[in-house]
Structure 1
Amino acid sequence: MSSPEAAAMEESLEQMQARHRKEQRDLQSRVTSKKKNATKKTRKFVNDECAELERQLKERQGEELRKLSGEADDDDDEDNNEDNEPSQPPPITTTTTTTTTTDDLAHTLATTTLSQQPPSKPQSQPQNQQQPPQQQPKRNRQKERLARRAAEQEAAAAQAAAEAAAMPDRRELERRAMQRAFEAHALREHEIAPDGHCLFSAVADQLRVNGVELVKGEGKGGEVVGGLGLEPKVVVGVVPKVGGVVPVPEYRVVRGAAADWIAGHGEAYAGFLEEGVEGYVGKVRDTAEWGGELELSALANAYGVEIRVVQGEGRVEVVKPDVVGVGVGDGKGEGEGAAKGEGEAKTLWLAYYRHGYGLGEHYNSLRKAEAA
């Protein structure tokens, strides 16, 4: 088998360049494999070994190119001496071009590393030669999943916002209908705190502006007033009085009145309850349980008043006191008359909201517009 020097003597410039590139690729593969398999202890030795292999290959290839260039110069000189006839011009252009090209290639190989490919003329490269594959970056699948999830959430939020924009504003529609009803009945709204006691506070406000006492009489001699279980000498009401009397919030008085009425007429209300009458009465009296139609019926009968509730659609629900349970669940009862033995019943006005408040359903008190 011939040595690299003998092979270089038989090769053309293009063949030598192709062989040099293959040798560089092979050595690069060996260097990569050695460095990949190196341990912490052998890494320095492997790096030095690889550097020495690169240096030796670069020197040998440079020497081969220089020898090939020198032979081309000698052949040109011999051709010039033998052919001196004036009619045949010497191949000066071809010789000069070849010499310059090989010198440039030798200089480039001497100043580059194995990671760089030596420049060559595009026409001298074989058409079927493949470029070395480039290493693709490793995919981060977790990052891709997070990005995909964020995109889905953004799309869902955009869709929800579009649907919300297309839907009618129930709160605004309710507010407009209520305002029209207020104007039609010459009413103005008195705000009640949304604290769970709004129905009873609104009824207390209406009782006061209509001149109806929250409870008749005072607790004397240990008497229990309004079902509140108050101590002796305690007057039910919110206005402190002289004599060591402890005030009670108005809504508690109204809660006690509703609880007493339901407890005393349990057979009329039991069918509307999901629990026993006694347990339900305890919630009405002692907790912040919201009031509804059952409590409206009980209060209308307990105080002998007619309660009118302006609803969100602008309609008015009427609860009358003359029959126990009238108005419960159906909002009917108009034309039934006033409370028995009381003459014409006083009328209390309330506003009932389903969408106007963030905590949910809410009652406000409605006073006459001309009232102070």
Structure 2
Amino acid sequence: MVEVNAESEMSEALSGIVMDDVLSRHRRERKDLQAKIQALKKSAPKNDKKKRKEIMEEVARIESDLEKKQASELVEVEKEQQIKNQNEHQDENTNGKQQNFDDALCNGDDDEEDATGTTQRVTKAQKRRDKKAREARQREEDIRIAAEDAKSAPKAIERRAIQSKLLERQLTLHYIPSDGNCLYNAVRHQLAQKGLPTYSVQELRKETANYIRAHKDSLICYMTNPKTGFLLTDAEFENYCELLHTTPAWGGQIELKALSSILKVPIEVLQAEGPPTVQGADEFAGPSLLITYHRHMYSLGEHYNSSVPIVQV
């Protein structure tokens, strides 16, 4: 019976160590991931939008993979601990009297005084239960701290701010994949929401590139080389339009202006900080397409999402 107790104590100790090790390893993995993401950022050529898009997808993938893996590991460890606790509890109920007898033979009981000065005998079984309770409280505290850290991350703060602004309009986020085409897919989703004619991503990209070419004189003053800070040369301008048309190059204010003019509809962009911006508000009537702009949703590159009305239950 003494051997059974020793095995039980070792099992409990190992269970606590396993959870602590998992949480510690998870922290190291998240820290290592951030270092890897920073290295990927530095390796992304600012003027190579195709490579930038590929790295953005890789960052999103490895972040998602790590989150899923860590969540799965925590669930598995918790399940194993629950099963062990149930089995040990059953064993204790069955062998409780014998356990106390064996504890006494081995001089394993300790005397403790309560608040009234009365001496009480504390068995090894009670010690194990107390230790288990302390470890459970510590795990809960670790999980709470991790959750609080996640809440204070820029991504979470930004998402809550945007969701709050959408809620004022009885709207909520509609997530768009991060594949370099987020602006065009967000606009396509909004067109469908408003019951307006819609187009494929490739059609929107082609028309946007053609619009920018046709309005070069009025737009070129806003288009600079990210490396030098100087206005684009004629060759750089043409390369910009070609990449826009033929690759999943990310879109910004220039593309928003072009899309608003092509579709003849205002496009409102909601963001966490500052007032919304609206393209085409003075030129076109009718309800705006409402999309959201995110600086921190993904570790590399900005992102656009769409919006949908909140379903009333």
Q: Report the TM range for the smaller structure's normalisation.
A: 0.3 to 0.5
Bigger radius of gyration among the two: 1
How does the TM-score come out when normalised to structure 1?
0.39
How does the TM-score come out when normalised to structure 2?
0.46
Greater fraction of residues in helix: 2
Q: Which has the higher contact order (CA 8 A, sep 6+)?
A: 2
